[in-house]
Amino acid sequence: MQDASSLELLDASVSGQTPREGEPRAATLPADPLSPKAVLQEGMLGRKHDLEAAGKKASNRSWNNLYCVLKPGQLSVYKDAKSFGHGSTYHGEDPLSLGNAKWEVLNNYKKKKHVFILR
């Protein structure tokens, strides 16, 4: 489990549009968006793992492009969409609980655009 990692938004594969009344819903939209199993958003995200534990820097701090799945209260990370389909998370990581998580946009990060930190 990570105490802190910074993430970069690369590309979301799910549209934020909702269907008009009377139009059929796409199969990817959850029937109950508050269900713990409902996928709210999924897509590729660049992740830089900065800390292993409180105050200890990670040994590998390079950026990885990973497939992330946001569900109510948790963020799961997979190598790619195919791994998500098989249910095998990236390096066997448990889903990151977002219950007490804090995030901040890093406007002063110059090497990449759209970077935020998640703690």
Chain centroid to CA 74: how far? 9
Q: Which sign does the torsion angle of CA 29, 34, 37, 41 carry?
A: positive
Across the chain, what does the average pLDDT equal?
A: 79
| From the candidate CATH numbers 2.30.29.30, 2.120.10.30, 1.10.490.10, 3.90.850.10, the one assigned to the domain spanning 4-13+39-118 | 2.30.29.30
Give the tens place of pLDDT for each residue, 53-88.
778 888 888 999 999 999 999 999 999 999 999 999
pLDDT at 29 over 50: yes
Burial 76-99 (b: 16+ CB within 10 A, else e): bbbbeeeebeeeebbeeeeebeee
Domain boundaries, the chain: 4-13+39-118
From the list 6, 71, 76, 16, the residue with the least C-alpha distance to 39 is: 71
Three-class DSSP category at 71: strand
